[in-house]
């Protein structure tokens, strides 16, 4: 059998569907990730701490306000641009990818769509230049059943007073601003949910325990504690009692971001596996010369390409103003499945070495698992898809 040369699928396909500006933007992000993020990945994972200098550079590069209009200091880009950034960063480190993802697809997105003009002027310039954001919906008793949350908001003396706890909050340690959901009336169910803009230094607000996680370890995941936390009435996001609408519509877009993250994770693992297969020799030749390994790499690459195209299609639909809810759910579901399969096979291609922390693929495998869990479990995505296919709401 002739010697095999395999190429990593590092460029989007079909290339003709990308503008020159998008290609340049993607390539610049790619090079930054290689030069600045990759050298720090192992240390950040081991210490479970994201490098502050990198976050500062994210702001300097304009990556924390990609869609924010120029009048607020942002890049006035498209949702598709944010998705490209998430994918390219996640190819190197999923923790870097999720920091950019939460900032752009959840926090900034919620402010752009639902904030008053006064709120936009107050917060968006800071989100673009220096303040990391977090999205606080989940609680101990409300995960997939998101609207079973128990954090309570009461009007007292012209301010809202919030009491409760939030769990699993990405960026919790580093964030300075939180889009946080509480209920005005638990008996009203989802109709009592209200979204608030919470600043980290508000009285009664505390960031609690930081979770010790399996994957995306450099990304902080924290508990939030609200004990008579006073929030000005002017910090209600949208309309009181309409927080459920903000949560649902924001998460629909966020799921495309998680799809991009998982596509990036799969790409990163595949590229390492492909390179290793051409270097590792058994029975006198590279293992990439064996058909069994070739078929594995080919299947992996095919699924990655399908996943990426689903991400790009959903993002283009969002930018075009087309209903994308079903496609977003399908994208997150499929991309998380692909990431889990590809990273697992990458470990197997490395053999015993893949099972050690001395080689990079085990981290990709650990990072992939979260894709099936956060921003809506796979079962919740299947439920959404099925309802939409069968004509439900």
Mean pLDDT by 10 residues, the chain (393 residues): 45 63 96 98 98 98 98 97 98 98 98 98 98 96 84 95 97 98 90 96 97 98 98 96 94 97 98 98 97 98 97 97 97 98 98 97 98 96 96 68
In this structure, is residue 160 part of a structural domain? yes
What are the backbone dihedrals phi and psi of residue 240, each rounded to the nearest 5 degrees, phi first? -55, 135
* 35 contact partners, CB below 8 Å, separation of at least 6: none
Can you say whether the dihedral through the CA atoms of 25, 31, 36, 41 is positive or negative? positive
Task: Tell me: do 190 and 111 sit in the same domain.
Answer: no
Task: Tell me: do 107 and 67 sit in the same domain.
Answer: yes
279 is catalytic: no
Task: Tell me: do 384 and 341 sit in the same domain.
Answer: yes
Task: Tell me: do 31 and 47 sit in the same domain.
Answer: yes
Last residue of a domain, one of 81, 110, 132: 132
Task: Tell me: do 183 and 213 sit in the same domain.
Answer: yes
CATH number for the domain that contains residue 79: 1.10.540.10
Task: Tell me: do 215 and 286 sit in the same domain.
Answer: no
Cα–Cα dist 10/27, whole Å: 10
Task: Tell me: do 172 and 277 sit in the same domain.
Answer: no
In this structure, is residue 316 part of a structural domain? yes
Q: Which residues of 235-253 are buried (b: 16+ CB within 10 A; e: fewer)?
A: bbbbebbbbbebbeebbbb
Mean pLDDT, the chain, as a whole number? Answer: 94
In this structure, is residue 291 part of a structural domain? yes
Last residue of a domain, one of 101, 117, 132: 132
Overall domain count for the chain:
3
The share of the chain scoring above pLDDT 90, in percent, equals 91
pLDDT digits (tens, 9 = 90+) for 47-85: 999 999 999 999 999 999 999 999 999 999 999 999 999
pTM exceeds cut of 0.85: yes
Cα–Cα dist 386/310, whole Å: 18
In this structure, is residue 186 part of a structural domain? yes
Task: Tell me: do 303 and 380 sit in the same domain.
Answer: yes
Cα–Cα dist 93/362, whole Å: 12
In this structure, is residue 1 part of a structural domain? no
In this structure, is residue 123 part of a structural domain? yes
CATH number for the domain that contains residue 208: 2.40.110.10
- Is residue 123 within 8 Å of residue 103, measured between CB atoms? no
């Amino acid at each position: 059998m002739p010697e095999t040369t395999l190429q990593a699928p590092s460029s989007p396909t079909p290339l003709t569907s990308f503008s020159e500006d998008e290609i340049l933007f993607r390539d610049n992000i790619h090079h930054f990730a290689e030069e600045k993020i990759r050298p720090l990945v192992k240390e950040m994972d081991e210490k479970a701490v994201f490098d502050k200098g990198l976050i500062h550079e994210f702001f300097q590069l304009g990556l924390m306000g990609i869609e924010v209009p120029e009048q607020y200091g942002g890049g006035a880009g498209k949702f598709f641009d944010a998705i490209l950034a998430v994918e390219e960063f996640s190819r190197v480190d999923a923790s870097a990818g999720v920091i950019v993802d939460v900032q752009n697809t959840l926090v900034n997105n919620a402010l752009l769509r639902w904030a008053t003009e006064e709120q936009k002027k107050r917060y968006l310039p800071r989100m673009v230049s220096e303040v990391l954001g977090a999205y606080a919906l989940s609680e101990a008793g409300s995960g997939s059943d998101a609207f079973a949350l128990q954090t309570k908001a009461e009007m007292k003396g012209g301010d809202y007073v919030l009491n409760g706890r939030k769990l699993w909050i990405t960026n919790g340690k580093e964030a300075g601003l939180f889009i946080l959901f509480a209920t005005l009336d638990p008996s009203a169910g989802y109709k009592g949910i209200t979204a608030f803009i919470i600043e980290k230094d508000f009285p009664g607000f505390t960031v609690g325990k930081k979770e010790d996680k399996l994957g995306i370890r450099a990304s902080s995941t924290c508990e939030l504690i609200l004990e008579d936390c006073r929030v000005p009435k002017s910090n209600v996001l949208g309309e009181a009692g309409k927080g459920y609408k903000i949560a649902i519509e924001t998460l629909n877009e966020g799921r495309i971001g998680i799809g991009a993250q998982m596509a990036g994770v799969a790409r990163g693992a595949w590229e390492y596996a492909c390179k290793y297969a051409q270097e590792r020799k058994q029975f006198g030749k590279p293992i990439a010369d064996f058909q069994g390994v070739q078929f594995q790499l080919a299947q992996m690459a095919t699924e990655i390409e399908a996943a990426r195209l689903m991400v790009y299609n959903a993002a283009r639909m969002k930018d075009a103003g087309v209903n994308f809810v079903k496609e977003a759910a399908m994208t997150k579901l499929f991309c998380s499945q692909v990431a889990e399969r590809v990273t697992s096979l990458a470990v197997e291609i490395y053999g015993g070495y893949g099972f050690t922390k001395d080689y990079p693929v085990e981290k990709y495998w650990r990072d992939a698992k979260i894709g099936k869990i956060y921003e809506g479990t796979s079962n919740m995505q299947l439920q959404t898809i099925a309802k939409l296919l069968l004509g439900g709401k």
